[in-house]
Structure 1
Amino acid sequence: MRTVFLPFLWRKNVSDILQSLNPVQKEAASCTEGPLLILAGAGSGKTRVLTHRIAYLIEEKGVNPWNIMAITFTNKAAQEMRDRVDRLVEFGAESIWVATFHSSCVRILRRYIDRLGYDNHFTIYDTDDQKSVIRKAVKELDLDPKQYREGPLLGVISAAKNEMLEPEDFETQAGGDFRMCQEAKIYKAYQKTLIDNNAVDFDDLLLLTVRLLRENRDILESYQERLRYIMVDEYQDTNSVQFELIRLLSGKYHNLCVVGDDDQSIYKFRGADITNILSFEETFPGAKVVKLEQNYRSTNNILEAANSVIANNAHRKEKHLWSENGEGKEVSFIHYETAYGEAEDVIDKIQTSVHMGKYQYQDCAILYRTNAQSRAFEEKCIKKSVPYRLVGGVNFYQRQEIKDILAYLKTIDSGRDDLSVTRIVNVPKRGIGQVTLNKLAVYASEHGMRLFQAMEQAEQIPGMGKAADKIKGFVNQIMVFRALAKELDAAELIESILEQTGYLEELEKLEEDKAQAKQENLDEFQNKAADYYANHDEAALTDFLEEVALVADIDNMDSEADSLTLMTLHSAKGLEFPVVYMTGMEEGLFPSYMSMNSGDPGDIEEERRLCYVGITRAMQQLTLTAAKQRMVHGNIQYSAISRFVKELPQEKLDWKEETFGGLFKKGPSMTANSLSGSLFGGSSSMSSGSSFSASQGSQTAKKTNYDNVFDLKYAKAFSSPKPDSLDYKEGDRVSHIKFGKGTVLAVEDMKKDYQVTVEFDTAGVKKLFAGFAKLKKI
């Protein structure tokens, strides 16, 4: 029976709810019945539309908040949505189902997973836990761990689960493919270990929920009846399982509203399927489409750059961003001689703008395609005392000391997770050896019990000897903590664990700097726990562990600190900064070699969407940079300017070229193509302080004299000694550690080293220095 809901008792003025929206936003917010696709361009106020739509449903349509579901991709987004709705409606916001996909699935599985043969008190395994299970499976199957590594195998299993393939389905799909057959065996063993430990991984949260709803009509109908109005944010990032979950839940009332931007679909590597949004109208007949194209973030010059680039994608829904923020500054592109020069000048420019009072460090962001690119910028920040924060580095919850305490908490919470028990049984050291642990594991397996249960019976196990007393001491300590957990919150429990186990004493034995860093991390973990309990009434240890398991890197960004932000383009999605530098705009770097050589045009389109995401992070000032040469895997790599730079509106692009004499402005008559026509893209014919005029535009760029490179301030980069001789010559076949096999086209003696031109089978033509490249004749 539906709960009686009487909104007229406290209804706000409905016109006030939608008054602040523009006409198109109002249309989207007031369209409540049937399937709706809101195509929300970058910075178009999609969260505002979603929250006002929820308020409109409650205040105007009289919908019970209990019947509304809003799905997001991050905990931060979910909390922001919940807070905004709470400010818009008088009552009922707390009853709305606002959560991430994974949190929603945990909520459903905690109630009904026993229908699938699990205990409702299941454990969620993180990446480290999963890797341990993979190693165990590879060992049990007597496979070579060098050939079957944890990372790639987890990727294979995750991809299979995202396509809703159970181990048996994957085995069938493998057919006669030897590698896939072995991977199928590993997947099967991996899944068995998870089930035996009453554990699930993140992909299982989704897959098992879909399976639960498919196999249990009563549960499906119960949730369909409750969740009559469903909204999904960032719909372009959904995978096959998430799509199926939403399809099932919305199957009765069909009031499904999805918000997304196909131009910002950048998570194909995580299983995201762009066809979910591109084919929405075909999947949900009668769907209405509303386009949000007015941007509230950026200036029109920045938006024109974004529109110009993304227009080159064939598979997209047409839209054109515009703004009332004015034209703004021209977008800049700077072509540096080296990656070192790029890093130094970018940091200098940011530091100067801060010292002049134009911006704060927190207003600025440096974006790059790969994590490896951050090193040069980090070094320059340290050298110049520029405060910075690295987003996407080592995850806080993956640090050893945090993993240790989490394992204690998991063991205290249930004791069903063998990996957690194994991790802490000798942390700190208790003198319990591997032989003892092996005996316990065998006993547990023979008697169908968990490892901790076997430990409780250690005195009954033949051959345990004195080790039984050590095991008993560990078990008793866990039992004491379990009793304390009923009285203490997680922060207090962590403090007790640190003191009573002797963990803090062990830290004091480390070098001072390391001990201090670990202590600070543990302090921060306690702060996290205290904050969670302060904001969640009647929270239990299980709830806190679920919160930790679901936390994402980006949720931990401190928006208050005045620091320059360094981050990958993927990490930047959803954020905005007044000043943005997009660095490393070079062919082979962005777009990546992998996308260029995959043979799938969709991969280049994904890279282009990533470029679009980067451009649209900028609010006032956007600068793109590239280097003519950078060190990659021990050799100097020369690259052409990225095709994405060429796709910018050239007439509105402030283009500068660096020679070792300084920066020089490119005139309007010189196109991007004319500058990048040579391999090196540089011009040494410009005099200091000059700029190109129309009459100078016909000048052709001259090849850099590399004989002189070694006398310059970057010469330290060329420290590998010149070989006495080469065992290959023009026409010979050679191999390179990164680029693979290729044919030598030319060898030139450059005094300090040999410059070798090689046409690689898959990576194209490269000019390499022999001392760095370490080419091998084949």
Structure 2
Amino acid sequence: MRTVHSEALRQLQWMWPRAVGGQMPRIQSSKIGLVSTALSNCGIRLDDAGRRDVTGEIERAKAVGLAPEQVGTDGVLGEQLAQVYQEYEDVKGAAGVVDFEDILLLNAGLVRENLTIAEQVRQWCRWITVDEYQDVSPLQQQVIEGWLGDRDELCVVGDPSQTIYSFAGARSDFLLGFTSRWPEATSLRLTHSYRCARNVIDLANAVLARGDERGRLHLTSQREVAGEVRTTVYDTEYDEAVGVAERIKGLLATVPASQIAILVRINAMTARFERELQAAGIPYSVRGSARFMQRPEVKRAVSLLRVASKQPSDADVAEQVAAALEPVGYSPTPPLGQAQREEWESLAALVSLAATHTSMTELVADLDERADNDDAPVADAVTLASLHSAKGLEWQAVFMPGAYEGGLPLRYQGEFVDLDEERRLFYVGVTRAKDLVELSYARTGSRRETREPSRFLPEGRRRKTA
């Protein structure tokens, strides 16, 4: 059992001396250095987050098979991306290294062009089974087809309703069009859920039914317990974090901490929940990213806030924090790039936290205390995770806060991101729960704006906390 990448690399290490000669080029584990050189050669200066965004755009372009001259112009660099992408390829070639996407490109190319190589590879890959097939990229599909040749010994497993990595090049088209490509294929629909209780499955089915999802399944729970779905409307984000922590504290009498998760749309949302779990003495671990106070951008920001706290000001605390964080990238509206946006969200979380403090000195003292108490995670702990990193996992109880229009589904610069993918993400979150799903949102945002409930929330199940 291997990933497509690891199998392609294993084959390529065998292919190279036979088809090309000599030793296979070294694999560049990180693109950032090469991308930085390419940007510099093109006369473009970006911060660390901007360089990560450009790296991600190049990776996505290669994953879907786009050459430099074919890339779009709506990313961080606009029309300059094509120039930087080509320069990156030139710098990489001059260094005599290959990247992870090249492993697939070279494998597919050698199988396509060298019959002897192709025959050997197809002997190795007599029967192919691909799991999570809805997440296959066009480049991965090209490699799989090369291994298969004109045979049909292929088994795939997937759920188009769990396609949540489109931003990385994943496409469910290959799964949905499988029987068109192979008309004699046997198709099995697995609709029995042995994880989720009935009410949880009913919510999951209802979420998908309100969309226009091709190939969606209508699941049926095979468990006798009904389970519970709760929706709570809080007045503020602070109230929501406190309320979720209180609910979890009550659950711990009967549910192990390791069987409870808080799933959020963006990583920066963990900040307020980390604080309230810590205040309640509830052990927690953060999956897929560093704890909030350990993130580099947060450490830099706290240093700036410490300096700003010594300066007299008549502005309220949130305004002081926003002004202090401008030099490290905070602005009222988020930037376009994903990595830049993730750092911005951490800064925005600090601005939001400021609203619950009466002075900068008090805020900095609170942040310092949180950093001092940010102990290493323990085994029996509540999990905080993004919805993306929770895929494939399960818990007895799942909390999904921030379920409002603009939070889930997510909206940036006034525009919703892909609504179909947001719906699938909500569905993935719901189906992580065995017995209990707790959905919530704050009626008032950190900028005192009024929020509307998410279109994905079940109707008739909203209640206000006491």
Q: Do both proteins adopt the same fold according to a TM-score greater than 0.5, normalized to the shorter chain?
A: yes
**C-alpha displacement at 1:564, in angstroms?**
0.5
Give, in whole Å, the separation in 2 of the partners of 1:338 and 1:318. 35
Residue number among 53, 62, 86 corresponding to 1:152 in the alignment: 53
**Secondary structure of 1:282's aligned partner:** helix
CA contact (8 A) 1:224 1:252 kept: no
Q: Larger Rg: 1 or 2? A: 1
- Aligned match of 2:454: 642
- Aligned identity (percent) is 33
Structure with higher RCO (Cα < 8 A, 6+ apart): 2
The alignment status of 1:568 with 2:375, answered yes or no, reads no
**Secondary structure of 2:157's aligned partner:** strand
CA contact (8 A) 1:138 1:148 kept: no
Residue number among 96, 103, 106 corresponding to 1:205 in the alignment: 103
Give, in whole Å, the separation in 2 of the partners of 1:616 and 1:399. 29
Unaligned runs of 5+ in 2: 297-370
1:324-723 paired onto structure 2 within 5 Å? 324-354=222-252, 356=253, 358-394=254-290, 561-594=379-412, 597=415, 603-631=418-446, 635-645=447-457, 648=458, 650=460, 653=461, 655-658=462-465, 662=466
The TM-score with structure 2 as length reference comes to 0.76
Change in 2 beyond 3 A, CA 1:141/1:574: same
**Secondary structure of 1:643's aligned partner:** coil
CA contact (8 A) 1:235 1:258 kept: yes
How many residues end up aligned between the 2 structures?
386
Change in 2 beyond 3 A, CA 1:346/1:125: same
- Aligned match of 1:279: 177
**Secondary structure of 2:388's aligned partner:** helix
Instruction: Kindly provide the amino acid, as one letter, of the partner of residue 141 in structure 1.
Output: C
Give, in whole Å, the separation in 1 of the partners of 2:49 and 2:433. 42
The alignment status of 1:267 with 2:165, answered yes or no, reads yes
Change in 2 beyond 3 A, CA 1:174/1:377: closer
Change in 2 beyond 3 A, CA 1:217/1:225: same
Change in 2 beyond 3 A, CA 1:243/1:360: same
Give, in whole Å, the separation in 1 of the partners of 2:22 and 2:57. 27
**C-alpha displacement at 1:626, in angstroms?**
0.8
Change in 2 beyond 3 A, CA 1:233/1:252: same
**C-alpha displacement at 1:345, in angstroms?**
1.2
CA distances 1:649-678 after superposition (whole Å, capped 9, x unpaired): 64xx4x3213xxx2xxxxxxxxxxxxxxxx
CA contact (8 A) 1:124 1:200 kept: yes
**C-alpha displacement at 1:337, in angstroms?**
0.5
The TM-score with structure 1 as length reference comes to 0.47
**Secondary structure of 1:158's aligned partner:** helix
CA contact (8 A) 1:363 1:564 kept: yes
Instruction: Kindly provide the amino acid, as one letter, of the partner of residue 464 in structure 2.
Output: E
RMSD (Å), alpha carbons? 3.0
Change in 2 beyond 3 A, CA 1:318/1:379: closer
**C-alpha displacement at 1:141, in angstroms?**
2.4
Unaligned runs of 5+ in 1: 1-97, 401-513, 522-557, 663-778
Give, in whole Å, the separation in 2 of the partners of 1:145 and 1:116. 40
Change in 2 beyond 3 A, CA 1:190/1:118: farther
- Aligned match of 1:120: 23
**Secondary structure of 2:170's aligned partner:** coil
**C-alpha displacement at 1:193, in angstroms?**
2.6
- Aligned match of 1:105: 8
Instruction: Kindly provide the amino acid, as one letter, of the partner of residue 51 in structure 2.
Output: E
- Aligned match of 1:490: none
CA contact (8 A) 1:338 1:630 kept: yes
**C-alpha displacement at 1:188, in angstroms?**
2.2
The alignment status of 1:257 with 2:155, answered yes or no, reads yes
The alignment status of 1:163 with 2:64, answered yes or no, reads yes
Change in 2 beyond 3 A, CA 1:147/1:123: closer
**Secondary structure of 1:290's aligned partner:** coil
Instruction: Kindly provide the amino acid, as one letter, of the partner of residue 620 in structure 1.
Output: D
Give, in whole Å, the separation in 2 of the partners of 1:585 and 1:248. 43
- Aligned match of 2:83: 185
Give, in whole Å, the separation in 1 of the partners of 2:275 and 2:216. 42
Change in 2 beyond 3 A, CA 1:118/1:363: farther
**Secondary structure of 1:390's aligned partner:** strand
Instruction: Kindly provide the amino acid, as one letter, of the partner of residue 565 in structure 1.
Output: T
**C-alpha displacement at 1:215, in angstroms?**
2.1
CA contact (8 A) 2:245 2:276 kept: yes
**Secondary structure of 1:628's aligned partner:** strand
